[in-house]
Structure 1
Amino acid sequence: MTPAIIVISGAGQPTAARAAAALGGELITCGPEGADAGPTLARLFAEGRPIIGVCAAGILVRLLAPALADKRDEPPVLAVSLDGASVVPLLGGHHGANALARQLAAALDGHAAITTASETQFARALDEPPHGWVLANPEAARPAMMALLKGAAIALDGDAPWLAEAGYPLAADGAVPIIVSDRAAAPSSALLYHPKTLVAGVGCERGADAAEVIALVEASLAEAGLARQSLAALASVDIKGDEPALLAAASHFGVPLRLFSAAELAEERARLKHPSEYVERTIGTPAVAEAAALKAGPLAAGKRKSPRATCAIGRAAKPLAVEQFGRAPGRLHLVGIGPGDAPTRTGAVIAALRASSDWVGYGLYLDLVSDLRTSQIEHRFDLGDEEPRVRHALELAAEGREVALVCSGDAQIYAMAALACELLDADGPRALSDAARRVNLEVHPGVSAFQAASAAAGALIGHDFCCISLSDLLTPREDILKRLEGAAKADFVTAFYNPRSRRRIDLLDAARDLFTAHRPPTTPVIIASSLGRPAQQVRVIQLSDFDPAEVDMLTIVLIGASTSRVFAGPNGPRAYTPRGYEKKASALATEPAA
């Protein structure tokens, strides 16, 4: 997870900025004297985010005290002095805090004050193995660590070079037994580490059920006596990169799905035990599951079949460097960032932006989320380059990258989500490359301008509503006028997107005239400009006072229904559209008693 760098005092800003740059972290500035630090820290702690507070250790201790419970579940928490000279891991020492403290101290040219008993003598605790290793029985780590601190040595069965590198004594007659194996084992007093050396090669028919694939992989592991914890990845042919069953299976096992081209899999032809002429004719390689498994190393479990899937297990000589094994499936996140201010972003959008390696978008939209940027590569496009922007995002994702296409408001509402779907569905001259057509598309809704405008002025969209774009660049003018007339006659609350430009100035006038013919002159109109930005302005006026000349392209206009009302709120007029609860309440009040 992305570390959160918390700064309370202005004096700590330079050190916090250096820490954020060194760790790829998110810099979060709390209010004066930490007024809002408590809720922020509690939320981050509950999310399991590593927390680095550039402040006194006592401040973090007091603010986090209510959230402390089981130390096995706590994320790393570090305190850093304002000058960066001291880095103190407070919580989660064996969950990465000590390693993070050493990394940060080196970057800040400071000192990591490690106080954990095991790590003052050894470079790494037994219950914090390096990436690629899983401790199967963490409850056995404490007694083993106590024996080692008293002078005992390790009797190692297997290969784990990191133990000697961390300074642990090894001896054939050692009193602390440690076993390293990718095989499932019965519980024992020996510490058991499973190296991430296994790859499940999987092939399946298009549309196969995820439960079938999951059961097949589990059966393959169990039949061969292999430990599920040693599974490093699922692997398949690249044309299966968008197969829901494979993606669901990878998620189920908590491992990535890695892909190879048919030509790459065909390189394993000489080592295959079960080549298939049909598979080779169909996709260009004599095997999928077996060949993908062999990419890791010799087979630990041979090919196994279910009605619509196949699986084989390969074994690497050492924990697999997954990032260098095949490539990831392409994934494109369509994110709607809302009006632009941080509080209105959804959690799903924030997570997608953080997870992505590349951000694609109109320059202004990328600027609006710059506070979340760590190491992401930006791909900036001009406002009118919608199709080149979406194509670029899809082709980037086709390379195996995780890409975020950034849209304002909601990505589905007059934005890029529909265009992305259109291109994925396109044939002929507009068709994408085969790899781009297999990109996994995820749409993350955001707060749209009509929602933000209505909320800022009350609840005008409390009953039936519609949205109409007045831009005639892509929609014929006659169609826009037809929709305006329909909305006016149907008595919908109506939001006007793209209401006016320097070239197009009369469609909003036409809209006003149509709605004036079907609405009382007192109908509320919301005029909202620069929503979510420092220059935000929101006004509520009557339809009879509405002058379209006051509107520009940074403005959205909402006209109420004939039933919409206005009342005087403490901060100005509030507009809303009742749904009919008054009638319901009256009906209930007049019902005879049973």
Structure 2
Amino acid sequence: MTSPATRRVGLVAATAAGHRHARVLADAWPHARLVDADSAADALRTAWAECDAVVAFLATGAVVRILAPLLGDKRTDPGVVVVDEAARHAVALLGGHGGGANALAAEVAVLLDARPVVTTATDAVDLPGLDTLGWPVEGAVAAVSRAILDGAPVRLVADATWPLPALPPNVRADAPGDAHRLLVTDRVVPPDGRTAVLRPPSLVAGVGSSRGVATAEVTDLLRRTLAAAGLSPASLRCLASVDLKADEAGIVASAEAFGVPLVTRPAAQLAAVDVPHPSEVVRAAVGTPSVAEAAALADGGTLLVPKTASAMATVAVARHAPRGRLAVVGLGPGAADLRTPRAVAELRRAAVVVGLDQYVDQIRDLLRPGTRVLASGLGAEEERARAAVAEATAGHAVALVGSGDAGVYAMASPALEYADDRIDVVGVPGITAGLAASALLGAPLGHDHVYLSLSDLHTPWEAIARRITAAAEADLVALLYNPRSRARDWQLDAALKTFAAHRPPDTPVGAVRNASRDGERVHLATLATFDPAVVDMYSVVVVGSSQTRMVGGRMVTPRGYRWRS
């Protein structure tokens, strides 16, 4: 579901209290509006007809009676959330998945300090609904979902390994042949009452045409071509053509009719694609010997249907292999409330989670049943990076987790050294330990600053020392990571002496241990008085610049701007 901030949400209220609660939502969501009418029933009907979702501050029974005659298809009806008079509960009443009411109830509950009430069976037991996986689903969806919920064996049959989220253990490839089935395929499957079919985005349809081709000609040709090949239109990833056709109304409207984007490429790029049926006539007209076949194959894949023509259009269809998905997720400094919602969403989307054992332990409660966990101890960073990339390359949805921001002295760099263009990579930023420490110290990062790691396990100390000297000479605030351990007990003292040679002795220095976690400790001193013994590997040290001051017991580095009135 898209965010309530971007959806048209109709708010319906009948009482003064309901109007007060509705205004809270209206103030938070730019596209939400209070629907006015002669009666609450008329307002509810108007909101149902005109909005993407409805939040009704009415009795549940009243909402049911008013909307019952209007119900159509759960895939297209708006989601409806009902909130009681005291705003204690936000009930996802209709369209839990398809209409986004379950997610909307959670958003309403946050704003009103209410409790979300979700009765959708899969959500209640923390299983992914088949209609929430992001792909079209057909066939015996209810029967297969019921079998999954009951723990009955469900046979998973996939044409290839696609990056699906974790499925429960009873959904497996080796389930008995007479079990319910979950198919992942782009092929047309006869209905049998025991099979649900997920449609992966595996097909690219290349399209060429004469100028002025009618939309109906393109769509009819493509539908007939797919049907003859036994392929489902629901698995179309996109329509593809040459740049010259980017504004061809019939092709543009056809893409809209199929609900997929239109991707166009330069003629020179398509001319370099090897195709079975090149045409010099086409080359003379558009600069490439093939449009439909070349566009379908431009990103690789296998040609399933060679170019097929009507009077003014040609189409060709290629199947593209799955691309695995690697999400590199920063978990933040440790506290659950400093973990971003996007990080949580990626963890719940992943089928495989890879990470340091102590970090994985922090988020095990967020993982869906059936998630495969690959955890290892300290010192195995390269092995974790290779494992995560290998799992993604095999087609899985993978989350590689690290503390703070995964791109700052963490797992993103080693992983992306191995990740090639066969996989999709998603970076999820996190709050770094340095930012968490700085917030506790005050505002030491108000002006230019630098991150430095004092660990010489993989970087020669001579190189680290040069960087420390450069930061000291440049008068930058310095955040020192990996400052001190049992085996490395002299580097921090050496670094502080370098800073002391370039800054006044009263320059503030702060150290934070276990920022946002149990055992959090904040220590403030100066370059002249700071004792490195208070620091360990769970600490971040912040050395102020010559402009950093102590104000009210907090480190503050002025921004250095001239404010203008």
Task: Report the TM-score when normalising by structure 1.
Answer: 0.51
Tell me the equivalent position of 1:393: 388
- Distance 1:97-1:492 versus aligned 2 partners, 3 A rule: closer
Tell me the equivalent position of 1:482: 466
| Identity, % of aligned positions | 39
**Counterpart among 537, 546, 553 of residue 562 in structure 1:** 546
- Partner of 1:374: helix, strand, or coil? coil
Structure 1 CA distance, aligned partners of 2:332 and 2:200? 43
Superposed counterparts of 1:67-466, under 5 Å: 72-74=77-79, 90-92=93-95, 95=98, 103=121, 131-132=137-138, 200-202=203-205, 221-222=218-219, 224=221, 226=223, 231-234=233-236, 274=277, 289=296, 312-313=316-317, 328-375=322-369, 376-424=371-419, 438-466=422-450
- Partner of 1:224: helix, strand, or coil? helix
How far has the Cα of 1:552 moved from its partner? 0.4
Structure 1 CA distance, aligned partners of 2:425 and 2:473? 38
One-letter identity of the residue aligned with 1:131: V
Deviations 1:379-414 (A, max 9, x none): 102111111111110010011111111011111111
Structure 2 CA distance, aligned partners of 1:481 and 1:102? 59
- Distance 1:503-1:92 versus aligned 2 partners, 3 A rule: same
Tell me the equivalent position of 2:559: 579
Compute the RMSD of aligned alpha carbons.
5.3
Tell me the equivalent position of 1:530: 514
**Is 1:518 matched up with 2:515?**
no
- Partner of 1:351: helix, strand, or coil? helix
- Partner of 1:452: helix, strand, or coil? helix
How far has the Cα of 1:538 moved from its partner? 2.0
Structure 2 CA distance, aligned partners of 1:383 and 1:203? 49
Deviates more, 1:489-498 or 1:415-424: 415-424
How far has the Cα of 1:66 moved from its partner? 5.6
Deviations 1:509-566 (A, max 9, x none): 1011111122222211121111121221223222222111111000000000010111
- Distance 1:252-1:420 versus aligned 2 partners, 3 A rule: farther
How far has the Cα of 1:275 moved from its partner? 9.7
Structure 2 CA distance, aligned partners of 1:225 and 1:437? 30
Tell me the equivalent position of 1:321: none
Deviates more, 1:469-478 or 1:539-548: 539-548
Structure 2 CA distance, aligned partners of 1:423 and 1:335? 17
One-letter identity of the residue aligned with 2:334: G
- Partner of 2:406: helix, strand, or coil? coil
The question of whether the paired residues in 2 share the 8 Å contact of 1:328 and 1:401 is answered with no
Structure 2 CA distance, aligned partners of 1:339 and 1:330? 28
Deviations 1:32-68 (A, max 9, x none): xxxxxx99x979x98xxxxxxxxxxxxxxxxx75699
- Distance 1:94-1:481 versus aligned 2 partners, 3 A rule: closer
Structure 2 CA distance, aligned partners of 1:580 and 1:550? 31
- Distance 1:461-1:220 versus aligned 2 partners, 3 A rule: farther
The question of whether the paired residues in 1 share the 8 Å contact of 2:404 and 2:431 is answered with yes
How far has the Cα of 1:304 moved from its partner? 12
Structure 2 CA distance, aligned partners of 1:417 and 1:252? 39
Task: Report the TM-score when normalising by structure 2.
Answer: 0.54
One-letter identity of the residue aligned with 1:484: I
One-letter identity of the residue aligned with 1:399: A
How far has the Cα of 1:443 moved from its partner? 1.7
Structure 2 CA distance, aligned partners of 1:490 and 1:197? 54
Deviations 1:343-369 (A, max 9, x none): 222333222222211110001111122
The question of whether the paired residues in 2 share the 8 Å contact of 1:460 and 1:576 is answered with yes
Structure 2 CA distance, aligned partners of 1:303 and 1:406? 51
The question of whether the paired residues in 1 share the 8 Å contact of 2:332 and 2:338 is answered with yes
How far has the Cα of 1:234 moved from its partner? 3.7
- Distance 1:42-1:393 versus aligned 2 partners, 3 A rule: farther
- Distance 1:565-1:77 versus aligned 2 partners, 3 A rule: same
- Distance 1:346-1:196 versus aligned 2 partners, 3 A rule: closer
Tell me the equivalent position of 2:484: 500
- Partner of 2:235: helix, strand, or coil? strand
One-letter identity of the residue aligned with 2:93: L
Structure 1 CA distance, aligned partners of 2:97 and 2:434? 48
Structure 2 CA distance, aligned partners of 1:253 and 1:495? 52
More helix by share: 1
- Distance 1:343-1:467 versus aligned 2 partners, 3 A rule: same
- Distance 1:576-1:91 versus aligned 2 partners, 3 A rule: same
Deviations 1:387-442 (A, max 9, x none): 11111100100111111110111111111212123234xxxxxxxxxxx6522222
One-letter identity of the residue aligned with 1:333: A
Structure 1 unmatched ranges of 5 or more: 3-37, 47-63, 80-87, 109-129, 134-158, 167-194, 205-211, 237-248, 257-271, 277-285, 315-324, 425-435, 590-594
- Partner of 1:331: helix, strand, or coil? strand
The question of whether the paired residues in 2 share the 8 Å contact of 1:496 and 1:558 is answered with yes
The question of whether the paired residues in 2 share the 8 Å contact of 1:274 and 1:287 is answered with no
